[in-house]
Amino acid sequence: MIVRLATEHPRWGYQRIRGELLRLGCRVSGSSIARVLRANGLQPAPRRAATSTTWRSFLRHQAAGILACDFLTVDTVFLRRLYVLCFIQLHNRRVQLAGVTAHPTGAWVAQQARNQAVALAEEATVVRFLIHDRDSKFTRAFNDIWRAVGAQVILTPIQAPNANAVAERWVGTVRQECLDHLLIAGRRQLLRVLQLYVEHDNRHRPHRGRGLSAPAPSERCEPAHPSAAARQLHRRDVLGGLIHEYERAAWQPTDF
């Protein structure tokens, strides 16, 4: 199973593979996965640089009330630039896609803020801090909407992406795992692709910041005999096979 996951996902390191195995009910240590990868000539992916200790400490203690947002830009095959606004809750890493537009006017960005604030209020989610960079698309009206619900707006320093590390990391991840491997023709296609990826990211993909659990995970399977688990492993393709999701079939007595 380790070799299969690593072969089908060349960008996955041993921690990412371990998270997938845990979700499938197989408990394997990271060092064991690393040894299996080396034995089969498969090297683990490099780790990303960590953020500063002080900022990480702040995020860890205040994460339950922090919302981060950022813009993602995507160029279509017709050389048209599209702008994607996304929000991410730091305590559970849950991503919410606000909208996609070719013209991110101040009125459009403010409306997305209103929509997001209403959605979070319906979920009884309290936002104490909102983090975003100094992009001019984040207007005063955008900030005032969040201040009106009691949130403090934190602007990151100039050219300091680590100050909004969680949102920047997600933008990099969606590029590496999804957008860099697709040709986007227009807004409608991009919106559909991102909706599918966000659904995968929120419900299936393991996150290190959550102990290798998904933001809104399905129930993990109970540990199984390794040989039986390999036979029970089912794969579901997402985005035409660009992303694979794995589930275990129901237990059968003949598997042992």
107 has pLDDT over 80: yes
0.75 exceeded by pTM: no
Same domain, 152 and 194: yes
pLDDT bracket for residue 57 (50, 70, 90): low
Q: Is 140 a domain residue?
A: yes
Same domain, 43 and 60: no
pLDDT at 46: 53
Q: Is 215 a domain residue?
A: no
Same domain, 195 and 77: yes
What residues contact 247, with CB distance under 8 A and at least 6 apart? 24, 233, 234, 236
Q: Is 8 a domain residue?
A: yes
Domain that holds residue 34: 2-47+221-255
Q: Is 225 a domain residue?
A: yes
Same domain, 105 and 138: yes
Same domain, 202 and 127: yes
CATH code of the domain containing 154: 3.30.420.10
Number of domains composing the chain? 2
Same domain, 58 and 37: no
Q: Is 134 a domain residue?
A: yes
Same domain, 235 and 176: no
Q: Is 234 a domain residue?
A: yes
Highest mean pLDDT among 39-48, 85-94, 107-116: 107-116
Q: Is 100 a domain residue?
A: yes
Answer yes or no: are the C-beta atoms of 246 and 235 closer than 8 Å: yes
Same domain, 41 and 57: no
What residues contact 89, with CB distance under 8 A and at least 6 apart? 66, 67, 96, 125, 215
Q: How far apart are CA 215 and CA 201, in angstroms?
A: 8
pLDDT tens for each residue of 115-171:
999 999 998 889 999 999 999 999 999 999 999 999 999 999 988 888 898 899 999
pLDDT at 242: 87
Q: For the residues 225-231, what does the mean pLDDT come to?
A: 58
Q: For the residues 222-228, what does the mean pLDDT come to?
A: 56
CA 89 to chain centroid, in Å, comes to: 11
Same domain, 61 and 167: yes
Same domain, 83 and 122: yes
Same domain, 82 and 195: yes
pLDDT at 115: 96
Of 101-110, 184-193, 213-222, the range with the lowest mean pLDDT is 213-222
Same domain, 21 and 148: no
Q: Is 216 a domain residue?
A: no
